[in-house]
Chains A and B, each alone.
Chain A
Amino acid sequence: EPEVTQTPSHQVTQMGQEVILRCVPISNHLYFYWYRQILGQKVEFLVSFYNNEISEKSEIFDDQFSVERPDGSNFTLKIRSTKLEDSAMYFCASSRLAGAYEQYFGPGTRLTVT
């Protein structure tokens, strides 16, 4: 069964550095998402992406975040200048269509900012 994959599984970075988290969505899916979960807190929506542009974003997704689909398979989340509070698990998800359709989640990337 097709799965969403994410790399790396764990990323450690110093405060102020840029990080890129990578995701490979399921191949015939059209909608892509990023979520984050700070330890012990809720999974929070960051952004959705469709047709090569952001379709929806939360207030968390400020100017230090950006997303890109650089080729036909990868979907990336860039954090330009990491802060300590960016430490979290970041989940990528994809869905074939929008609305009620299921989102398929990746295993997550644990980002640790020191």
Chain B
Amino acid sequence: AQTVTQSQPEMSVQEAETVTLSCTYDTSESDYYLFWYKQPPSRQMILVIRQEAYKQQNATENRFSVNFQKAAKSFSLKISDSQLGDAAMYFCAYRRSGNQFYFGTGTSLTVIP
């Protein structure tokens, strides 16, 4: 069964600093997709970044980047130059060929001014 683990329930970062959120997953598949979603307080989840497992190059979206280690089944999210608006719950998610997402339990990120 696919499982996604986020071992950090809460994280905090000083404004303008860099923070890394951890995610590991378990799968026997070779072809799959990984996502980071952000959920601000009382708002819907929005996609932050996506990684295809067949791509060796780590995905980057502006201040957000991932460190994808396929052999280690690790998919961490790095947020550079943290801003107050980055404060949210962050969910790591896994998806294989079907429609089903598997989510982690989330990491609550606080940005300290």
Contacts and interface: CB of A to CB of B under 8 A. Distances in A.
Contacts of A50: 99
Interface residues of A, number: 28
Interface centre among B33, B35, B100 (most CB of A within 10 A): B100
Interface string A16-41: 00000000000000010101000011
Interface stretch (A66-74, A75-83, A97-105): A97-105
B52 A103 contact: no
A107 B99 contact: no
A33 B37 CA distance: 16
A44 B103 contact: yes
Interface residues of B, number: 25
B78 interface: no
Interface in B83-113: 91, 93, 95, 97-106
A108 B44 contact: yes
B44 A3 contact: yes
A82 to B, nearest CB: 23
Interface string A45-70: 10010100001101000000000000
Contacts of B105: 40-42
Interface of A: 3-4, 31, 33, 35, 40-45, 48, 50, 55-56, 58, 91, 95, 98-100, 102-108
Given A4-B44, A104-B44, 15 more contacts: A3-B44, A40-B105, A42-B104, A43-B101, A45-B100, A45-B101, A56-B98, A98-B99, A99-B33, A100-B33, A100-B50, A100-B52, A102-B35, A107-B42, A107-B44
